[in-house]
Amino acid sequence: MNPWPFSARRIRKELTLILLLNLGCYLLFIHWDLFEKLDVWLHQHPASQLDEVLLLSFTLALSMTWFAIRRLREARQLLKALRRQAERDDITGLANRRRANQALQRETERSCRSGRRYSVLLIDLDHFKHINDSHGHLVGDKVLQRFGQVLRQRARQLDTIARWGGEEFIIVCPETEQDGALALAESISQLLRETDFDPALRVTASIGVATLADDDTPDSLVHRADICLYAAKQAGRNQVVGENHSPAPQP
């Protein structure tokens, strides 16, 4: 079910229906010679005010059409703003889980059509609760924002970066095999080590990487990335773990 009461497609559909309705009325008028009959009637009743009424109706129709177009444009702009708000995380400005799920579904369908695999990175900030407890939630929010900037610096423009929930993030990487996804994960870890998160000092992350298999669904793919993420945490955190990639200690 579409959660949005309006959409650009629906607006175009309704405008098309209005156009077809008016065209149908016009064709019926021609088919029954109503224009000629109306003209004859007006000549037979010269004192009638019908011509003034028709003129008023015509100008009113134009005004209402202009009014409707203006309101539709405003509604479309409002719809875009609401959609952006509904698909963005308030703290980091990244996509939220809803949009990430849409990207996962879209890329799974695309992969089925093209045969090209995609990968996901599931990322968890290490000991984030300790940061909140030691420095407060305002600092914690700043760490999340700074980490979002780190992800933007390393991810490609076509990747979807989203806050999955709490201190967990996900990156959906279209047309990316396991090796490319692991390279991205290692690059993120390296940039984290070079980034100043003052006053939180050093911030690290555990990353699980999974690549779409033939029988995968979005849920099963994320589940396998979550298993790799859990393995990274079990290995001491600050690790990158893929399905065919053993954890290695980070400096």
Query: For the segment 133-175, what is each residue's pLDDT rounded down to a tens digit?
Result: 888 999 999 999 999 999 999 999 999 999 999 999 999 999 9
Q: Is 168 a catalytic residue?
A: no
The burial class, CB within 10 Å (0-12 / 13-18 / 19+), for 140 is: buried
Please, which residues have CB within 8 angstroms of residue 89's CB and are 6 or more apart in sequence? Answer: 95, 96, 162, 163
Q: Is 93 within 8 Å of 163 (Cβ atoms)? A: no
More confident residue, 12 or 115: 115
pTM score over 0.85: no
Q: What is the pLDDT of residue 157?
A: 93
Spot the catalytic one: 87, 167, 168, 194. 167
Least confident of 60-64, 132-136, 195-199, 236-240: 60-64
Query: What DSSP character marks residue 212?
Result: -
Q: How far apart are CA 200 and CA 32, in angstroms?
A: 81
pLDDT of residue 251: 47
Tally of CB atoms within 10 A around 213: 12
* Contact status, residue 90 vs residue 141, Cβ threshold 8 Å: no
If one compares 162 and 54, the residue with the highest pLDDT of the two is: 162
